[in-house]
Structure 1
Amino acid sequence: MRIGGLASGMDVDTMIKNLMKAERLPYNKLSQKKQVLEWQRDDYRQVNTSLKQLDTFLFDNLVLQGSTMTKKTSSTGESVVTATANSSAANVSSNIKVDRLASSATWVSEGNAKSFEARNGDLSLKVTSGSGVLKDKEVTVSISATDTVKDIAAKLSNDKDLNVSVIYDEVSGKMSITSKDTGQAGSIVLGDEETVKFFQTLGFSFSSAAPNQELTGKTAGTDALFTINGLTTTRSSNTFSMNNVTYTLKGEGSSTVSVSNNNDALFDKIVQFVGKYNDTIESLNKKINEERYKGYQPLSQDERNELSEKQIEQWEEKAKSGLLRRDSLISSGLTSMRTQLYNPVSINSEFKQLSAIGITTTSNYQENGKLKIDENKLREAIGKDPNAVFQLFSADGATPAEKGLARRLRNSIKDTVGKIEERAGNATKTNQSFAIGRNLINLDSQMNRFESRLKQVEDRYWRQFTAMEKAISKSNDQYSFLMQQFSGN
């Protein structure tokens, strides 16, 4: 801590602070330049975020067929059967007559569990699913001597490999075990003598304690029996797939299941694309046309201390404005995107460009190439040939002319994003790997050197004022001595 002015009476601390304000002006300029570069970097990255979001939308919705070229199903008897279809399913109708639903096997104890004997150990069970698949390994259920019958029921029910629901009736003392699988092949075989003896104490009857006996009291499950387009067949489950259509049997009876194109899904995705594209180019055009207020530079800490939070917010809003005004990277990227959309696609279809399906640019030139949709024309095109409309966007030809609009647009976005990252990087890149980052490193180096110089200047000022204080103090001492001498005479 330094204290000055004791001899001179001057406010040395304030004087040096004011002198240092003048000395710090070049440093403040460097700090402002650094802040502008950081804001500019963040603006570039925000642009890339918008472009990447559009790119992700294109890939998920207009390149991948499964998410757009979907199918819809209908059933004339939903109490009998319902269905879903994937994008590869053919547009067909199927007549289905359900004679029997698949059911689960159950095992009910003949006696009660009054003779239940808890013990420590493992129960060994071999489980076969309703479709006849034996599990790769025996199912082991650990039990303890403190377990009650309810505890045993819970442990059996909670074992995922055993895959059963267990109910214990305290009134009758009986236990019911139901497989969660359906199908006639379901079985539970007890793997060793100790397991057989344990289930005997639960009320299940066995002629001996020999291992590898199936649990007694069984009511076998059944396979579903149905006829589809004249073909009678069975399935172990009420839900099954045939020819990319998944059927779920609900009850006995007859129904007709029809599969058709879900044209609404493709229509909705294209409408969403137009909205997403328009939002993206609007945000990018706003960036390159934003007003630049050159009189508003980043605030220093001293300037911030003199303003309210609201004033700081308003000032920085103008200071951040227009940092990407007329930016060549973004402008060329927008031009490339528009060009890729407007050029026709070389595919074997009457729909070779957006205008053929009702999508054109708006007549307002100030909207900078926004798209508009004639919904009736789009629905008509999709209804006529949905695959051709989808190919207009997703075609993956060998040449650029043969590639669909979505793929072209993605390539254009990738190129622009790459160029912007060379200038502004991304969250995973170090400053050394992109242009603005290298400029920031250079500015940091200059500012560090300048801070060292400012410290030296401040130390020099203090030394000079301290020397002045010592001289004044010495002069005051001499003056006091002379005054004493004169007054003594």
Structure 2
Amino acid sequence: MGMMSNNMRIGGLASGMDIDSLVNDLMKAERIPLDKMKQDQTWLTWQRDAYREINTKLSEFQNMFMDMKLSHAYQSKTTISSQEGAVTAIATNGAQEGTYSIEVTELASKAMNVSQQGISDGDTKIDPDAVLETQSFKNAPQSGTLEFSTFDENGNETVHSVNVDVTQDSLNDVLNRISENSDGEVRAFYDANSDKVFLERTKSGDFNTDESRYLGSEIGFDGQTNSSFLTDTLQIKNGTYNNQSGQWEPNEVGGTNAEFNYNGLQLESFTNEYTLNDVNFKLTNTTEGTAFIDVSNDKNATVDKITEFVDKYNEIIETITEKTSEERHRDYPPLTDAQKEEMTEREIELWEEKAVSGVLRNDNILQSGLSDMRSAWYETVDTGNEDYNRLADLGITTSSNYRDNGKLVFNEGKFREAIENNPDAVRNLLSNSSDGDDRGLINRVEDSLKNTMDFVSEKAGTELRTEQQYSMGRELISMEKQISEFERRLQQVESRYWDQFTQMEKAIQQMNQQSAYLMQQFGGGQ
């Protein structure tokens, strides 16, 4: 029993008919077009998702193109050092193959100065986080300005100022400010064990080569500058007077340049790195005599990259071929909700395996995309070298097995020979962003791949697009509207059926009443 249009539904009490079942059966027939619409909607959703899966795979493949287009992919260099504990090297693409000799006599070091003695007064050490005036220093600090200098690579002096307020600042506040106000050029820290403060240049090298300035120190201060906080309170002296020589000698240590001999040329560097002829040398120790660096082309890195690229391309071919030739089982349409209710999960799974098969069968976008990519590989490139103007010249050919659908076969031996003989020609053949006849094969394949991906996105969208922004999405919106309208019509049809049966029941009831009345009359007349 149910209510509709405020009319009582009469379920066959008068006629003896099962009106509920009758209406349900009639509605099943009415609902057949709706089931078909929903199945079409499911099929289209499956198709869209299958397209997107393909596009994800194509996108993974596309990510490999950037690596393949860079020149270092074809000219990777490897280096071997005869004294790895003292000097190593990284060679960039421009580096010439050969042996480089280097003798390191001194490493670059950072300048450092330290308190000449403990700064605390007595056995109780100061607390570097407490306000200065509350602590017992050998020489009590005074509020004011602390000044010190650093030098750049050209020997130019920069004076840095730090304000000290003994009523508010702690020692660590002042030390942190030394770093901040020098833009990180100087680092300062207190070591509680030794009760000393360390001042350190953060860069290695000898920048102050003028010994008349602060005795040639890299962190410059003396009696002529506002530096009593450093010299008195922190006991950091710029120099010590040598009575024997009658000279001031710097207390600062380090601040040296790296000194080395490169292929017979004497050189210096502020740091322990130096780049010459596209070889970047890293110095970690002085050498024992001369060290030798061998630079050669690293064929393995290039071969590995090409192998990985070819494998991914073949995987793409396999996926698209499989999807476009998959069998379509028309006897297994998508299941309706009612059908699913009558099936086990395993039955549903097995059914849908067959139902979803063939969603991209003979798909024109994917088949023509594959065809375009295959064609791009076969084209001739004007490399300026007739020995290397087709893919086959690099030992990369198309499989002769027609079932492989144009997969590539990689002859590693032939490719190694090509990369050894002429790495530039190999690179020009595979990668060149020019738009003319000399455009590289990988660039051409990427063009066709991008076109295919754009077509797929236009049709099936992406996670980021709304349904309005791709054709299948607009179709799904339209289907949803049709389904909603049809469901509204079904409700009206069901109401109409119930109205009709209710009228029939009322008529039968009326006839039964009249019949009973007549029978009564006749019976009464006897």
Asked whether the 8 Å contact 1:105–1:179 carries over to 2, the reply is yes
TM-score w.r.t. the length of structure 1 is: 0.84
1:16 counterpart (9, 20, 23) = 23
Which structure shows the higher helix fraction?
A: 1
Partners of 1:162 and 1:67 in 2: CA distance: 38
* Letter paired with 2:256: T
2:351 counterpart (315, 323, 336) = 315
| Equivalence for 2:91 | 85
State whether structure 2 residue 416 is matched by structure 1 residue 379: yes
State whether structure 2 residue 266 is matched by structure 1 residue 236: no
State whether structure 2 residue 49 is matched by structure 1 residue 42: yes
Partners of 2:498 and 2:227 in 1: CA distance: 93
- Alpha-carbon deviation of 1:101? 0.4
State whether structure 2 residue 185 is matched by structure 1 residue 185: no
Q: Deviations over 1:359-403 (max 9, x none)?
A: 22223211111111222122112111122112210134442x422
* Letter paired with 2:131: A
- Alpha-carbon deviation of 1:219? 2.4
- Alpha-carbon deviation of 1:130? 7.3
* CA distance 1:113–1:369, change in 2 (3 Å): same
TM-score w.r.t. the length of structure 2 is: 0.78
State whether structure 2 residue 250 is matched by structure 1 residue 222: no
* CA distance 1:482–1:156, change in 2 (3 Å): farther
Q: Which moved more, 1:101-110 or 1:323-332?
A: 323-332
Partners of 1:443 and 1:123 in 2: CA distance: 79
Partners of 2:159 and 2:325 in 1: CA distance: 69
* Letter paired with 2:59: K
State whether structure 2 residue 110 is matched by structure 1 residue 97: no
Q: Deviations over 1:70-115 (max 9, x none)?
A: 2222211112211112223333432111110011111201232326
Asked whether the 8 Å contact 2:418–2:426 carries over to 1, the reply is yes
Partners of 2:323 and 2:156 in 1: CA distance: 64
* Letter paired with 2:64: F
In the TM superposition, 1:267-306 aligns within 5 A as 267-306=303-342
- Alpha-carbon deviation of 1:322? 0.8
Partners of 2:429 and 2:272 in 1: CA distance: 40
Q: Which moved more, 1:102-111 or 1:118-127?
A: 118-127
* Letter paired with 1:245: V
| Equivalence for 2:291 | 255
Asked whether the 8 Å contact 1:141–1:159 carries over to 2, the reply is no
- Alpha-carbon deviation of 1:27? 1.1
Residue 383 of structure 2 aligns to a residue in which SS?
A: coil
Residue 218 of structure 1 aligns to a residue in which SS?
A: coil
* CA distance 1:303–1:263, change in 2 (3 Å): same
- Alpha-carbon deviation of 1:21? 2.4
Show structure 2 runs of 5+ residues with no match. Answer: 4-8, 134-142, 209-217, 240-249
State whether structure 2 residue 72 is matched by structure 1 residue 66: yes
* CA distance 1:462–1:318, change in 2 (3 Å): same
Larger radius of gyration: 2
* CA distance 1:236–1:198, change in 2 (3 Å): closer
* CA distance 1:151–1:453, change in 2 (3 Å): same
**C-alpha RMSD over aligned residues:** 4.0
2:112 counterpart (86, 106, 112) = 106
- Alpha-carbon deviation of 1:285? 0.5
Partners of 1:133 and 1:477 in 2: CA distance: 122
* Letter paired with 2:268: T
Count of residue pairs brought into register by the alignment:
478
In the TM superposition, 1:327-342 aligns within 5 A as 327-342=363-378
| Equivalence for 2:2 | 2
| Equivalence for 1:57 | 64
- Alpha-carbon deviation of 1:269? 1.4
* CA distance 1:163–1:455, change in 2 (3 Å): farther
Q: Which moved more, 1:155-164 or 1:36-45?
A: 155-164
- Alpha-carbon deviation of 1:195? 7.9
Partners of 1:197 and 1:283 in 2: CA distance: 74
| Equivalence for 1:395 | 432
Show structure 1 runs of 5+ residues with no match. Answer: 208-215
Asked whether the 8 Å contact 1:425–1:433 carries over to 2, the reply is yes
